[in-house]
Structure 1
Amino acid sequence: MTMKLADDCFFHDKDRMPHDEALAILKSRVRPVVDVESIDMHAAQGRYLAEPVRAPRDIPAHDNAAVDGYAFNHSAYNRQAGARLKVVGEAAAGHPYLTALSSDDSVRIFTGAVMPDGFDTVAMQEDILLEEQNGQAWVVIPPGLKQGANRRLAGEDSKLGAVLVEAGARLRPQDVASAAACGLNRLRCYAQLKVAIVSTGDEILRAGDRFVPGKVYDANAPMLEGLIEVAGAMPVDLGVLPDRADRVREALADAARDYDVLVVSGGASQGAEDHVARTIDAIGKRHLWQIAIKPGRPMSFGQIDDCVVLGLPGNPVAVFVCFLIYVRPVLARLAGGTWPEPVRYPIAAAFAQTKKQGRREFWRAKLTRKDGRLAVEKFARDGSGLISSLREADGLIEVAEEVTDVREGELVDFIPFTEFGLEPRR
């Protein structure tokens, strides 16, 4: 069943919300808004799991051989002197040896084959000596083998009933492999979140349009489309809205009826031609407007009925950073996933920089080496329109509100773009 938004999902009563408080509100109030469906396991990668995957039996289900060799009962073996045992049969993967055995017997066994009943140890093929006497094969096993050597135990990977993949996980290839190992062919997953993208402004041209002096091409929409796909949602580009209040109102109302989330770039401030914020105030609710961060201060969260509306600045760098830090985890949660928390790596700064107190800042940075050690270098230019800095960066340096300066050699919190599911720079 779809879970709808509360009317005050993002409500707060501050003009400029500190970063941590904004995240805390989002974490506590955002819930899944999509239905659950059963899908073929082969189409499950990248989807958010709605029900946990539990082991229906021990995995592996039987003790089995970890190597090619000879299986035997360790009680018939002298660890100091070794043993000479009769070879009475063969066991291969999928073809167990089922005949009753005595403690003085051994069985030729191949990797993955079920261990014969009563046998607990395997001597590796390359360590043994084979002999033949009166048409009977014998194996000479050297000394030194511990009981249980080269044997995989039943349940060694997972025990009956164990949770293999938690609900809310975004399924990776290795998670799908765990489900397949259980024999599952369908998984209960959340439906893909439908996210509409809207760009705003009379100055915006789309790719392929004839260039006009004074206008700019829209870099935000294709960037957002890629970021939304990486986040596991389904993006739809609705085009560019002009700076006309009636057109903006009509388009946002239509999008809110058809999509789970609406991501708007531009029109987030309170200028005379910034109609997005006023439109959301008129036909919906706008909350968390103005966050004490750089870049991206005028970002907003709101809703039109049950459609979440995420208002982003117009500058590409601010759009990119705000998406990674705020929009991506919100989309994951709305889509049924757990809140993704990026790992911050303490790395030495290969630069010195001052900043204003009282706001959280995210600096574009790339990894380098200094005195033979890994370090991080901040881009010298901070412009929010410098797409080149995004292309050349390896990640973001997160600088807390109370910090006023960073000294060379000091450890800073570095978040590589790979933490957000993005490919590394090559």
Structure 2
Amino acid sequence: MSCDQQGLLPLATAIEALLSDLEPVAVTESVDLLQARNRVLAEAIHSRVDVPPADNSAMDGYAVRMLDLIAAGEDWLPVSQRVPAGQAPGPLQPGTVARILTGAEVPPGADIVVMQELAEVKGERVRLPLGAVPGQNIRRRGQDIHSGGLLLPAGRRLDAMAIAVLASAGIERVSVYCPLKVALLCTGDELVPPGQPLAHGQIYNSNRYLLHGLIETLGMEVVDLGQVADDPASLEQVLLRAAEQADAILTTGGVSVGEEDHLRPAIERLGELTLWKINLKPGKPFAAGVVEGTPIFGLPGNPGSALLTFALLARPCLNRLQGDTAIKPFSVTATAGFSRERRIKREEYVRVYCEADGTLQLASQQSSGALSPMLHANGFARLPANQPVELGQALDFYPLDGLVR
């Protein structure tokens, strides 16, 4: 893997290297559609039916044969049947029309539906205007989905829309990957659980709650191992337990070069450290490797850094392990509503609010130790390394919803 001149791994290279070593944890189960939201398909699904299953009316009106409509001209046509949705129609009698409601099956022989607002009605007779074309206001059989066609590929995460499409094709159950088990542990003797009093030098542990929620949002199961003391022996013991209980391990803190940063050497003793230090701000001391054959992703301890490295690095890896094929961070091009002369040597992701016109405004607080600005920002803007930012410059914008959901 090629690094830049500072010895830091470029972000894109790091992502590719991480993903290349991972394969889905291939444990599957069959679930009912109502229990399938946020699950990942383990196999492709093809439709067994046409949708709609027959030609049907797109609106309330009158079904008629075009030749009969032309022959009638300005004359009245009798109504020979009424066709509500859910009932099979009879063949359309020559020289007549059928009263038809939205969604109802078009009678055999009819090739036009004239909307009711255009019809003159007198008892059981109607007069319809000329000018219609064959197929008007008719939803053709298989217009939405063809029998045998691919509905969804393997690796698709099921949202409400995907589930609705499956239901429309009569699919009742799907084969999905079992939820990935992710062991979560936080290091740092300065961390205190919420609800406890703070002593000097202590802070509340927000990372546990942040990452717990992000993992669950991905439809995965959290194996919460709590907080671990800044002690090599304690850390190694918990890491071994995590490797035994989970499919992947996620940690925060202890990945830098301080005297109390024990995670990196612990990984090296128990397995293999495959990646460390990313050309990224914030989040440089991200680490990855394996412990007893289980992938481990070590996030920095600062909450802002933990959020960003989870979104850009850990989340794609967890999704790959879950079998999800949509793993690349989503971005769009937006316009900088700010400028910056200062050049930094690392690729930087700054907190921004993208306005309705696509203009990016900087959040007031960019400290990696602060989380509350993300309540008001709605994403990150990527600032290339070693370049200034000019007002109006095109930048990559990463919506927060696309990074953590």
Matched, 1:72 2:52: no
Change (3 A) 1:79 1:399: farther
Matched, 1:149 2:136: yes
Matches of 2:299 and 2:337, distance apart in 1: 31
User: Which of 75, 98, 121 is the matching residue for 1:107?
Assistant: 98
Structure 2 residue matching 1:281: 3-state secondary structure: helix
Whether the 8 Å contact between 1:232 and 1:332 is mirrored in structure 2 is: no
User: Which of 100, 104, 110 is the matching residue for 1:119?
Assistant: 110
Matched, 1:85 2:72: no
User: Which of 365, 369, 394 is the matching residue for 1:385?
Assistant: 369
- Tell me by how many angstroms 1:80 deviates: 11
Corresponding residue for residue 305 of structure 1: 292
Whether the 8 Å contact between 1:77 and 1:83 is mirrored in structure 2 is: no
Deviations 1:297-351 (A, max 9, x none): 0101111133210001110000001111111111111111013333322222121
Matches of 2:70 and 2:404, distance apart in 1: 54
User: Which of 243, 246, 258 is the matching residue for 2:233?
Assistant: 246
Whether the 8 Å contact between 1:67 and 1:110 is mirrored in structure 2 is: yes
Change (3 A) 1:201 1:147: same
User: Which of 37, 44, 47 is the matching residue for 2:36?
Assistant: 44
Matched, 1:204 2:191: yes
The one-letter code sitting in structure 1 at the alignment partner of 2:249 is L
Segments of 5+ residues of structure 2 without an aligned counterpart are none
Residues 321-336 of structure 1 aligned to structure 2 (within 5 Å): 321-336=308-323
Matches of 1:347 and 1:184, distance apart in 2: 40
Structure 2 residue matching 1:406: 3-state secondary structure: coil
Matches of 1:318 and 1:264, distance apart in 2: 13
User: Which of 359, 371, 375 is the matching residue for 1:375?
Assistant: 359
User: Which of 389, 400, 408 is the matching residue for 2:391?
Assistant: 408
- Tell me by how many angstroms 1:81 deviates: 4.0
Matches of 1:84 and 1:328, distance apart in 2: 67
Corresponding residue for residue 193 of structure 1: 180
The one-letter code sitting in structure 2 at the alignment partner of 1:303 is V
Normalised TM-score (structure 1): 0.90
Matches of 1:242 and 1:385, distance apart in 2: 20
Whether the 8 Å contact between 1:79 and 1:145 is mirrored in structure 2 is: no
Change (3 A) 1:280 1:83: farther
Corresponding residue for residue 400 of structure 2: 417
Normalised TM-score (structure 2): 0.94
Corresponding residue for residue 233 of structure 1: 220
Matches of 1:251 and 1:276, distance apart in 2: 11
Corresponding residue for residue 353 of structure 2: 366
Whether the 8 Å contact between 2:223 and 2:246 is mirrored in structure 1 is: no
- Tell me by how many angstroms 1:355 deviates: 4.7
Whether the 8 Å contact between 2:50 and 2:169 is mirrored in structure 1 is: no
Matches of 2:20 and 2:296, distance apart in 1: 17
The one-letter code sitting in structure 1 at the alignment partner of 2:119 is I
Matches of 2:264 and 2:112, distance apart in 1: 71
Structure 1 residue matching 2:76: 3-state secondary structure: strand
Residues 18-33 of structure 1 aligned to structure 2 (within 5 Å): 18-33=10-25
Percent of aligned pairs with the same amino acid: 33
Which piece of structure 1 moves more, 271-280 or 214-223? 271-280
Runs of 4+ in 1 over 6 A off after TM superposition: none
Matches of 1:28 and 1:67, distance apart in 2: 52
Matches of 2:227 and 2:98, distance apart in 1: 73
Q: Report the RMSD for the aligned CA atoms in angstroms.
A: 1.9
Corresponding residue for residue 208 of structure 2: 221
Corresponding residue for residue 173 of structure 1: 160
Whether the 8 Å contact between 1:225 and 1:236 is mirrored in structure 2 is: no
Whether the 8 Å contact between 1:260 and 1:306 is mirrored in structure 2 is: no
Deviations 1:14-44 (A, max 9, x none): 5521111112223333221140110111100
Matches of 2:74 and 2:287, distance apart in 1: 74
Whether the 8 Å contact between 1:256 and 1:304 is mirrored in structure 2 is: yes
The one-letter code sitting in structure 2 at the alignment partner of 1:126 is E
- Tell me by how many angstroms 1:269 deviates: 1.6
Change (3 A) 1:63 1:252: same
- Tell me by how many angstroms 1:381 deviates: 4.2
The one-letter code sitting in structure 2 at the alignment partner of 1:404 is Q
The one-letter code sitting in structure 2 at the alignment partner of 1:72 is V
Change (3 A) 1:349 1:216: same
Change (3 A) 1:117 1:368: closer
Whether the 8 Å contact between 2:155 and 2:323 is mirrored in structure 1 is: yes
Corresponding residue for residue 160 of structure 1: 147
Which piece of structure 1 moves more, 374-383 or 191-200? 374-383
Matches of 2:72 and 2:361, distance apart in 1: 60
Change (3 A) 1:79 1:259: farther
Corresponding residue for residue 381 of structure 2: 397
Whether the 8 Å contact between 2:364 and 2:373 is mirrored in structure 1 is: no
Whether the 8 Å contact between 2:185 and 2:224 is mirrored in structure 1 is: yes
Structure 2 residue matching 1:405: 3-state secondary structure: coil
Matches of 2:145 and 2:22, distance apart in 1: 33
Corresponding residue for residue 243 of structure 2: 256
